[in-house]
Structure 1
Amino acid sequence: MRKGRDSKCLGSIIFVLVFCFAISALPFASAIQRQKAKIEKHEFGELADGIALYTLTNRNGLEVQISNYGGAVVSVKTPDRAGRMADIVLGYDQPQSYADDTVFFGVLVGRYANRIAKGKFSLKGVEYQLAQNNPPNHLHGGVRGFNKVIWHPREVSRADGAALELSYVSKDGEEGYPGNLSVKVTYILTNANELRIEYSATTDKETIVNLTNHSYFNLAGAGSGSILQHVLRINASRFTPIDKTSIPTGELKMVKGTPFDFTRPTVIGSRIDQADEQLRFGKGYDHNFVLNKKGKELSFAAEVYEPKSGRVLEMWTTEPGVQLYTGNFLDNVHGKAGKVYNKRDAFCLEAQHFPDSPNKPSFPSPVLEPNQRYMQTTVYKFTVRGAGRGR
């Protein structure tokens, strides 16, 4: 009997010791977990001094690489349903390629994303002429837009993940735009597996602002081929039809009964080659969708699902519109790791004010006054879906 009591006593002591150790170890375990969200700086080519590559990693092992040249999202590595990691954005290995780039891989776009008809707009009776770098129109901020400048980087502390702040001052008259515009863009890779992009800007003179990120996604892996079997849903009952130069006509057209109806999950390639004037003008999808929302709250915009890998991309934004672009003009573009990108090998979902808004009074206004602050937030959330769960 004595031996039995001793054994029980010893067991109780061991249990208490293990329990106490576990409790005391909790803060340490928590500290280790917090350390997993990190940011690292690397050299990135020899284009110019001050250009670097920043790797953001969250607690779950997701990794995003960003360069302060053009504010480019260079890579996004996420797992498939089996846990295999792959880079899901198109891009380049060297900054010189970004300097030579004409398709805007992953870069920050401004001062005005998308097109302005004939490069002209007026503010308070003064007409401004911008570069017609996408003849006959102005595109993505001009010849030397925000995608071609070196941003000032700063690592910032965030409780929700690893963060990099980029800042740039666009001088009055740069690319024809009025006002000195001070811009900050913060990339946060959150521990909820989101790439959160926060934009802010102020001006000392009335101007127009429309900022976005131009990442090209392929959820099967960058360079793996066509995205036409990806399944897309967009929270938009209307879109803005375009003319043959890709300028909106001013109409807000219902998507119902057209190839632009993505209100339910739809395979991207299922209607892309239909005999439709709008698809002919864009050579596929290159159109602005009017999001079903009121005000500037952060709200659901779109979701894309890739059936083979199970990867899901969910997009949320404060902006009134989102541009769906299906890589219609990619043609033998040599990218990272020796990959070659071709037509419809990627898609873009660009949060934005509507194209040509400065010349369309019925569209939401992109005008920024000196006493105002431009603010925009877009979130790309990465998840996976199990096999057999459908759309």
Structure 2
Amino acid sequence: MRIEMKPYLLSQDPDKFREVSFEYTLKHSSGASFSVINLGALITKIMVPDRFGQLADIELGHKDLDTYILNPSWHGITVGRSANRIKGATFEIDGERYHISQNEGDNNLHSGSPGFHDTFWKGTVLSESEGQDFLNHTHIDSKQEIEGEAVLFEMISPDGAAGFPGNLKAQVFYAWGKDKTLIIVFTAETDKKTVFAPTNHSYFNLESHDAGSVKDHLLWINASRITKKAQDNVPDGTYLDVTGTPFDFQKPDYVGKSMNDSHPQLACSKGMDQNYCLDNNGHADIPSAYLYDPKTGRKMEMLTNFPGVQIYTGNHLLACPSKNDGTYEAYSGICLEAQMYPDAVNHSEFPDAIIQPGERKCYFTGYRFSVENCL
């Protein structure tokens, strides 16, 4: 199906970004659709049907470009070069020490500025066959078949941007799979060793973006352990077995069980904000997690070749501007952020977050939508 493309402009100064800011809506034959914009290569909307065929927008977000430019909660954004936290906002590569912004206490969160999130990416619409060729040439372990046109966003993060070394050429690819998978592919190449550990920071509420708490959603995660974090939310290099803890979603359980527990790993972040070490061994065709809303029957499976997923229950969504002139509150949405482990650049025992010159890194995240009457 063809992409609908229209300007996505500032309400106060519509001419300011007229040449670089568009919204692209990708439609699936089932009636589902999602929309993305050049700013941050971010997702603004995901419309999917419930068990009665009624469509709802299940992506939390803002009403206009003005608010997305501020975007204090990172709604729908592509995060990079390095998602999540870096201890002390510093790291070393080949004996050279690099310093980046301390924007969360003494640490760094989501790389700082300029980053992937505050850049207007160049967008190109690809035909179905061009999109399939792009996906095939990533050599990702996925058998996804593209349906309809796709969007490819591209940008160059220059050497020294936000303190990171190397000129990094980055791409974000969006498409529908025929099986109703919202496909996201991140790729990068560099001329100097650097960090490449992106994610997409979408908040989901499968009832509707404005439905309130996600505590009654069911969550399953294919992970038997998490990275243990210190009180500053940065991993300390050790792991915790989730079995029998509030983090145990090896069988489907209600998200709400983790929201008000007194476990120290939850107390320091006022709810779930945890990296799960996935047991799928990088196979992008095997579900790594799923979210299910019993009320509507909507189910969302996450597929990825990333080694981890950050589960964040929107603990700090306090009076956050929403799409309909209202606000989101804590626990209004949940993030399933496929990722490298937080602070991986400072932990040799974690999966490697470094990209080498001459290498092309490719990461896949898919959100596959379906309807179930019960689980």
Q: What secondary structure is seen at the aligned counterpart in 2 of 1:358?
A: helix
* Aligned counterpart, 2:63: 93
1: CA distance between counterparts of 2:241 and 2:123?
42
Residue pair 2:188, 2:362 contacting (<8 A) in 1 also:
yes
**Among candidates 98, 122, 130, match of residue 100 of structure 2:** 130
Of stretches 376-385 and 294-303 in structure 1, the one that deviates more from structure 2 is: 294-303
* Aligned counterpart, 1:241: 228
Amino acid at match of 1:149: T
Residue pair 1:242, 1:281 contacting (<8 A) in 2 also:
no
Q: Which has the higher contact order (CA 8 A, sep 6+)?
A: 2
1: CA distance between counterparts of 2:211 and 2:326?
8
Q: What secondary structure is seen at the aligned counterpart in 2 of 1:378?
A: strand
**Among candidates 76, 84, 106, match of residue 76 of structure 2:** 106
Measured against aligned partners, the alpha-carbon deviations of 1:321-365 in whole angstroms (never above 9, x if no partner) come to: 000000000011121122320000000000111000111111011
* Stretches of structure 2 lacking an aligned partner (at least 5 in a row): 130-145
Amino acid at match of 2:342: P
* Aligned counterpart, 1:42: 6
**Among candidates 64, 69, 72, match of residue 39 of structure 2:** 69
- Aligned pairs for 1:265-280 within 5 A: 265-280=252-267
Residue pair 1:298, 1:377 contacting (<8 A) in 2 also:
no
Measured against aligned partners, the alpha-carbon deviations of 1:186-217 in whole angstroms (never above 9, x if no partner) come to: 00022321100011100000101101100000
Bigger-Rg structure (1/2) = 1
**Among candidates 297, 300, 308, match of residue 310 of structure 1:** 297
1: CA distance between counterparts of 2:78 and 2:372?
30
Residue pair 2:197, 2:353 contacting (<8 A) in 1 also:
yes
Give TM-score, length-normalised by structure 1.
0.88
Shift of 1:295: 4.6
Residue pair 2:151, 2:173 contacting (<8 A) in 1 also:
yes
Residue pair 1:310, 1:385 contacting (<8 A) in 2 also:
yes
* Stretches of structure 1 lacking an aligned partner (at least 5 in a row): 1-36
**Among candidates 114, 118, 127, match of residue 88 of structure 2:** 118
Of stretches 199-208 and 263-272 in structure 1, the one that deviates more from structure 2 is: 263-272
Matched, 1:167 2:154: yes
- Aligned pairs for 1:138-149 within 5 A: 138-149=108-119
2: CA distance between counterparts of 1:171 and 1:267?
43
**Among candidates 30, 54, 74, match of residue 60 of structure 1:** 30
Q: What secondary structure is seen at the aligned counterpart in 2 of 1:148?
A: coil
Amino acid at match of 1:128: Y
* Aligned counterpart, 1:366: 353
Measured against aligned partners, the alpha-carbon deviations of 1:95-118 in whole angstroms (never above 9, x if no partner) come to: 111111111000100000000001
Matched, 1:342 2:302: no
- Aligned pairs for 1:211-226 within 5 A: 211-226=198-213
Q: What secondary structure is seen at the aligned counterpart in 2 of 1:279?
A: helix
Q: What secondary structure is seen at the aligned counterpart in 2 of 1:113?
A: coil
Shift of 1:270: 2.1
Shift of 1:58: 1.3
- Aligned pairs for 1:3-22 within 5 A: none
Shift of 1:235: 0.3
Residue pair 2:300, 2:368 contacting (<8 A) in 1 also:
yes
Q: What secondary structure is seen at the aligned counterpart in 2 of 1:290?
A: strand
* Aligned counterpart, 2:372: 385
* Aligned counterpart, 2:189: 202
Q: What secondary structure is seen at the aligned counterpart in 1 of 2:30?
A: coil
Residue pair 2:258, 2:271 contacting (<8 A) in 1 also:
no
Amino acid at match of 1:328: N
Q: What secondary structure is seen at the aligned counterpart in 2 of 1:99?
A: helix
Please provide the CA RMSD for this pair.
1.2
2: CA distance between counterparts of 1:278 and 1:309?
31
Shift of 1:296: 5.8
**Among candidates 116, 128, 152, match of residue 158 of structure 1:** 128
Identity of aligned residues (%): 37
Of stretches 359-368 and 265-274 in structure 1, the one that deviates more from structure 2 is: 265-274
Residue pair 1:236, 1:263 contacting (<8 A) in 2 also:
yes
Measured against aligned partners, the alpha-carbon deviations of 1:110-149 in whole angstroms (never above 9, x if no partner) come to: 0000000011000010000000111211111213321110
Residue pair 1:133, 1:143 contacting (<8 A) in 2 also:
no
Amino acid at match of 2:74: F
* Aligned counterpart, 1:292: 279
How many residue pairs match? The answer is 352
User: Residues 208, 296 of structure 1: CA spacing in aligned structure 2 closer, same or farther, 3 A cutoff?
Assistant: farther
Q: What secondary structure is seen at the aligned counterpart in 1 of 2:236?
A: coil
Give TM-score, length-normalised by structure 2.
0.92
Shift of 1:297: 5.0
1: CA distance between counterparts of 2:240 and 2:247?
10
Q: What secondary structure is seen at the aligned counterpart in 1 of 2:162?
A: helix
2: CA distance between counterparts of 1:265 and 1:294?
21
**Among candidates 167, 170, 174, match of residue 187 of structure 1:** 174
Residue pair 2:310, 2:339 contacting (<8 A) in 1 also:
yes
2: CA distance between counterparts of 1:62 and 1:293?
28
* Aligned counterpart, 2:362: 375
Of stretches 88-97 and 115-124 in structure 1, the one that deviates more from structure 2 is: 88-97
2: CA distance between counterparts of 1:228 and 1:284?
11
User: Residues 89, 309 of structure 1: CA spacing in aligned structure 2 closer, same or farther, 3 A cutoff?
Assistant: same
2: CA distance between counterparts of 1:97 and 1:206?
34
2: CA distance between counterparts of 1:344 and 1:297?
28
**Among candidates 162, 165, 172, match of residue 178 of structure 1:** 165
Report which of the two has the higher share of helix: 1
